[in-house]
Amino acid sequence: MYGGPGGAPPVEAAGGDGFGMLADLVSDGDVVVLSGAGLSTESGIPDYRGETGRARRADPMTYQTFVRSESARRRYWARSHLGWRQIARAAPNAGHHAVAELQDRGLLAGIITQNVDGLHQAAGAREVIELHGGLDRVVCLSCGERTSRYLLEERLRSANPRWDAEAGEINPDGDVVLTDEQVRDFRVVDCLGCGGLLKPDVIFFGENVPPSRVRACYALTERAGTLLVLGSSLTVMSGYRFVRHAAERAIPVAIVNRGATRGDAHALVALDAPLGATLTALLSGLGG
């Protein structure tokens, strides 16, 4: 153990100089980044299980509940209507910019993100595989048409001109905590094309990631020189499976996260350190 970069707390590594090992792996190139909610906490978006997620008071929406229950959909869209304003205003932090810079330097083979906030792209990253989709899009469950979230927000404002609930604590999936009284009179809108149910173009709990997207992530992992996990506890199989896939093929795994992760046993190096400071220090160490 030793002091992390930029005055960060102690870093745990799988033996030796963990930060130096990370720099060596990244400098070799062909790095595939797998990012999670912990990368966006410095942008004001809490995670599910890390330091900012411990105070979460609301359970995430499941796909089955969303489809079956009109009241659940009303509650979700009311909360998400307010939460989207905060997500849309969030700006990329130093960690997102560092990932984009690593890509610009030709050191990345690809980026897989479990996040739905679009902050990688806002920082300038390209060809990001959004494993769980993106909150900036809406999909109709009947006809499959995808439309802009900004268009939906205009329609929701028009349908609820006198709805003035105050935003409470934001959750990682882009909604906020509201009471039953606050959501009771909220009006939901349907697909303009066919009248079907609208859903954010993200993977809810209980819903499967499209197989083609999973295959693309596996293929990208197999081509990696290193799989670099950033800000994910890897608690759910959705991201953890790619760490296992890399380890089974002797592809080095490096992890930077606040706290222990499910994938630490597979990692050549695992740093318990703040993402922004660590990735900024990594860029500086690699030079221009």
Quick: pLDDT tens for 146-173.
999 999 999 999 999 988 766 555 655 5
Higher pLDDT among residues 94 and 49, named by residue: 94
Higher pLDDT among residues 164 and 227, named by residue: 227
Q: Which long-range contacts (CB under 8 A, 24 or more apart) does 84-90 make?
A: 84/135, 84/149, 84/153, 84/174, 85/167, 86/44, 86/45, 86/167, 86/170, 86/174, 86/176, 87/45, 87/117, 87/135, 87/170, 87/174, 90/40, 90/43, 90/44, 90/45, 90/117, 90/119
Kindly tell me the sign of the dihedral angle through the C-alpha atoms of 49, 241, 84, 100.
positive
For the packed helices 275-286 and 18-27, what is the interaxial angle rounded to 10 degrees? 60
47 annotated as ligand-binding: yes
CATH of 10-286, one of 3.30.420.40, 2.30.180.10, 3.40.50.1220, 3.20.20.240: 3.40.50.1220
Whether pLDDT at 51 is above 70? no
Query: What are the helix (H) ranges across 28-172?
Result: 63-68, 70-89, 94-104, 119-122, 149-159
160 annotated as ligand-binding: no
Beta-sheet pairing, 133-140 with 146-148? antiparallel
pLDDT of residue 166: 61
Determine what percent of the chain is predicted with pLDDT higher than 90.
Answer: 74
Whether pLDDT at 12 is above 60? no
Range from 59-73, 171-185, 260-274 that averages highest in pLDDT = 260-274
46 annotated as ligand-binding: yes
What pTM does this model have?
0.88
pLDDT of residue 72: 93
75 annotated as ligand-binding: no
Dihedral angle, C-alpha 137, 106, 123, 263, nearest 10 °: 70
Q: What is the mean pLDDT of residues 106-133?
A: 97
278 annotated as ligand-binding: no
Question: Residue 258 corresponds to which tokens in the numbers above?
Answer: 């606040």
Determine what percent of the chain is predicted with pLDDT higher than 70.
Answer: 85
217 annotated as ligand-binding: no
CB 115 within 8 A of CB 39: yes
Range from 36-50, 74-88, 160-174, 232-246 that averages highest in pLDDT = 232-246
pLDDT of residue 46: 78
Q: What is the mean pLDDT of residues 123-150?
A: 97
Coil, strand, or helix at residue 247? helix
Separation between Cα atoms, residue 202 and residue 135, nearest integer Å: 6
Lowest-confidence pick of 31-35, 82-86, 186-190, 270-274: 82-86
Q: Which candidate, 250, 232, 248, places its Cα nearest to that of 240?
A: 232
Quick: pLDDT tens for 179-222.
788 888 899 999 999 999 999 999 998 899 999 999 999 999 99
Whether pLDDT at 84 is above 90? no
Q: How many residues does the chain have?
A: 288
Whether pLDDT at 104 is above 70? yes
Separation between Cα atoms, residue 169 and residue 53, nearest integer Å: 11
pLDDT band with cut points at 50, 70 and 90 for residue 45: confident
Phi (first) and psi of residue 263, to 5 degrees: -95, 0
pLDDT of residue 174: 58
Active site residue 245: no
Among the listed residues 96, 132, 245, 266, the single catalytic one is 132
80 annotated as ligand-binding: no
39 annotated as ligand-binding: yes
Half-sphere exposure at residue 169, Cβ-oriented, CA atoms within 13 angstroms: 13
Separation between Cα atoms, residue 118 and residue 68, nearest integer Å: 28
Q: Which candidate, 183, 154, 176, 199, places its Cα nearest to that of 83?
A: 176
Whether pLDDT at 55 is above 70? no
pLDDT of residue 59: 67
Break the chain into its structural domains and give their ranges.
10-286
- Give the Cα-Cα-Cα angle 227, 200, 179 (nearest 5 degrees): 110
Whether pLDDT at 230 is above 70? yes
DSSP states of 56-79: --SPPPBHHHHHH-HHHHHHHHHH
CB 209 within 8 A of CB 238: yes
